[in-house]
Chain A
Amino acid sequence: MSDVDLIGIGLTKFAKHDNKTSRDLLAEALQEAITTVDKGINIRKDIKALFVGYFTPSLYEHQSHYGPLITEWFGLTGIPAFRTESACASSSSALATGYFAVASGVYDIVMICGVEKMTSLDTSGVTDALSIAADDIFELGTGITFPGLFALMAQEYFGKYGGSWEDLQAVTLKNHYNGSLNPKAQFQAEISAIAEKIAIKKGVTFKDELDFLNSKYNPPVAYPLRLFDCSPISDGAAVAFLANSEISNRFTDRPLHIKGIGLSTDTLSIAGRDDLTTSKATLKAAYMAYKMAGITPKDIEIAEVHDCFTINEIILSESLGFFKKGTGLAMAQKGITKIIGDQPINTDGGLKSKGHPVGATGIAMVNELWEQLRGEAGERQVKDNPRIGLTCNVGGSNASSMVFIFERGTN
C-alpha cells in the first residue's frame, strides 16, 4: 500500500452566493486550489480520477449524475468521476475514496471536491432536505428535525453530566471569535459585534453577550437549542489534490502527509443507541486513525471537529479522546479549546461561524489544517508551529464518522 500526501487545496468563501450554481462554486475553489500547489499542477495532464462529495444535488439543484457534470465543467471529460454521499460527511467520504484509489496504487494523482448549494431553498425547504439524512420511517414521521436530534443529545448530556444551555455558549462565543479572524467565514463577527448591530437596529440594549443570547433575538429552534447553537445555511465549495507520496515532490516540498484514517458507522436512527452522549462511530474511527498513525490523542496539536450544533463539539471532543467523558463542556468553558488554549478546536470558526455547506465541510476542515500546519493561518495561527492535526467530520446525527490525521511533511 502506498503512502498518500495532500499537495494542494482551496475553497470558496462560505456565504449565500446568489446567481452561482454549485459547479460555478467548484470552479472557483479549483482555481484557488491550483494556486496552492507550490510547484504547479497541470490538471488536464496530472489528474487521473475525480471524487466529489455533494449531499443532495437532487433537492437543491434538481441534479444527479454529478461526476461527469463536473469533469465536463472542468474540461476533464474522460477521467473516471464519482459522487460520494454520506450526508454532512460527503466530502470526507470523497477524501476517503480518493485515498483508497491512490493508496491502492490504481491512480497516482486524484482530485477531491466537495460542494453544497443550499440557499436555493428557503429555511423550511433546507430543514426538509437536511432531514432526509435521518431515518425516514422510524424518525422523521414524528416531526423530529436535525436540530431536534442534537437537542435530544444535549438533554441527555445535561441529564447525565450536568451543565446547561448557558454553559454551551462557550462554544458559540469561541467559534464566532475564531470566525471573526477567518476571511472565508460566513459570519466574520464575534457575538458581541452581532449583538451590538442588533441593539442599534432594534433600539434595545444588552448587558452582555449572554444577555443577547438569552433574548428573543436568539429564538428557540429545538429545546434547549437556539438559533446561535446551529450552524447556518450556506453555499460553498472546496477542492483538494492527493498524490502518491513517492511522486508528491514533483508538486511541493511541503505536503501534508495522511498519517491516519479511520471510518465508522453508528445506527442511523438515534433510538438505536444506548448512549447519546458518546459518538460510538467516532470512538471507533478515532481509534483506527490513532492506531494507523501510531499516536495518541495527546499528540494532536490542532483539531477540526464537526460542530453542526454546539453540543456536538463537546460530545465529539470527548469521543476523540481529547477529554474524559463528561468533562468536555468544562474544558470549553475554561478556554482549553481556544486558539491560544492547550487543545485548539475549530480555529477557523467551525461549522458554526465559518458556515456549513454540508458537502464541502470535510474538505474545508482539511483546508484549515493545511494553513495551520504550514504556518499560513495568519491571525488564527496556533502557536509553536503545530505539526500534527486531525479532522473529524460526521454525517447526520453522527451515524457516519470519518477521522483523518495529517502531519506536515518534507520532501
Chain B
Amino acid sequence: MLLTVQDYIDGLIEGKIFGSKCNKCNQIMIPIKPVCSKCGNFSVEKFKTKGKGFLKNFTIIYVAPEKFKDKVPYAVGLIQIDEGGLIMGRLVGVSPDKPENIKIGSKVKFELLIENEKVIVVFRVIDINKAE
C-alpha cells in the first residue's frame, strides 16, 4: 500500500507528524513520501516523529490570502525536525508584532489547530534558548 497525503493528515489529527522510512535503505523522509527519495524503492513505511524541533527561520505575514486575512500579522516558520527534515508551520507562543524578539534556534513543539474545519500545522515555541 502506498502512503498517501491522507495518512499524513490522519497523523496530524492524532497530534503526530509522520514521515516515511525506506524498508530497503532506511532513508528517513519528512514529511511523508510514497517513494524513497534516495534509492527509489516503493516499499516505505510510516515513521512517527516526536513532533519536536527547532526554529530554522521565520517570516511575519502582513498581506494574507483571503482565508487568512483576519489573522494578520502572524508568524510562519521553517522547523528543523529533530529526526531530520524541515516542516513549515504557523508559529505560536511568539509576538508577531516584535520580529526582533523571535529567536532562530528556539525549541518548538507541534500542535494541532483546526481552523475553519481545516487542519493547520502549528508549532509552539517552548524554549527560546537554542537547542543543542
Residues of B in contact with A (beta carbons under 8 Å apart): 5, 8, 31, 57-69, 71, 74, 76, 78, 85-90, 99, 104, 118-121
| The one of A125, A137, A155, A269 that contacts B59, using a Cβ cutoff of 8 Å | A155
Chain A residue numbers with a CB within 8 Å of B69 are 124
Q: How far is it, in angstroms, between the C-alpha of A223 and the C-alpha of B91 when the chains are bound?
A: 14
Interface residues as binary, A133-162 with B (CB distance below 8 Å gives 1, 0 otherwise) = 000011111111101100110011001000
Q: For residue B91, which residue of chain A has the nearest CB?
A: A142
Interface with B: A9-17, A214-222, A373-381, which one? A214-222
Chain A residue numbers with a CB within 8 Å of B8 are 137
A79 at the interface (CB under 8 A from B): no
B74–A271 touching, CB < 8 Å: no
Q: How far is it, in angstroms, between the C-alpha of A144 and the C-alpha of B68 when the chains are bound?
A: 9
Q: For residue A145, which residue of chain B has the nearest CB?
A: B61
B121–A142 touching, CB < 8 Å: yes
A294 at the interface (CB under 8 A from B): no
Chain B residue numbers with a CB within 8 Å of A147 are 63
Chain A residue numbers with a CB within 8 Å of B65 are 124, 127-128, 131, 140, 143, 145
Chain A residue numbers with a CB within 8 Å of B119 are 141
Within 8 A of B (CB), among A212-267: 219-224
Interface residues as binary, A266-301 with B (CB distance below 8 Å gives 1, 0 otherwise) = 000111110010000000000000000000000000
Given known A137-B5, A269-B88, A272-B86, contact A143–B62 (CB-CB < 8 A): no
User: Can you add 12 more A-B contacts, CB < 8 Å, to A222-B59, A269-B88, A273-B86?
Assistant: A124-B69, A128-B65, A141-B119, A142-B89, A142-B121, A143-B61, A143-B64, A143-B71, A143-B120, A145-B63, A145-B64, A222-B63
Chain A residue numbers with a CB within 8 Å of B85 are 271
B76–A143 touching, CB < 8 Å: yes
Q: How far is it, in angstroms, between the C-alpha of A128 and the C-alpha of B58 when the chains are bound?
A: 20
30 contacts between A and B (CB under 8 A): A123-B63, A125-B66, A127-B65, A128-B65, A128-B66, A128-B67, A137-B5, A137-B8, A138-B31, A140-B65, A141-B119, A141-B120, A142-B121, A143-B65, A143-B74, A144-B61, A148-B76, A152-B58, A155-B59, A156-B57, A220-B60, A220-B62, A221-B63, A222-B60, A222-B61, A222-B63, A223-B59, A223-B62, A224-B99, A272-B86
Chain A residue numbers with a CB within 8 Å of B90 are 142-143
The minimal Cβ–Cβ distance linking B55 to chain A, given in whole angstroms, is: 11
Q: How far is it, in angstroms, between the C-alpha of A123 and the C-alpha of B63 when the chains are bound?
A: 9
Given known A142-B88, A269-B88, contact A151–B59 (CB-CB < 8 A): yes
Q: How far is it, in angstroms, between the C-alpha of A270 and the C-alpha of B67 when the chains are bound?
A: 22
Q: For residue B119, which residue of chain A has the nearest CB?
A: A141
The minimal Cβ–Cβ distance linking B84 to chain A, given in whole angstroms, is: 11
Chain B residue numbers with a CB within 8 Å of A276 are 57
The minimal Cβ–Cβ distance linking A143 to chain B, given in whole angstroms, is: 4
Q: How far is it, in angstroms, between the C-alpha of A143 and the C-alpha of B90 when the chains are bound?
A: 7
The minimal Cβ–Cβ distance linking A136 to chain B, given in whole angstroms, is: 10
Q: How far is it, in angstroms, between the C-alpha of A137 and the C-alpha of B119 when the chains are bound?
A: 10
Chain B residue numbers with a CB within 8 Å of A140 are 65
Q: How far is it, in angstroms, between the C-alpha of A131 and the C-alpha of B66 when the chains are bound?
A: 11
Chain A residue numbers with a CB within 8 Å of B58 are 152, 155
| The one of B59, B104, B118 that contacts A141, using a Cβ cutoff of 8 Å | B118
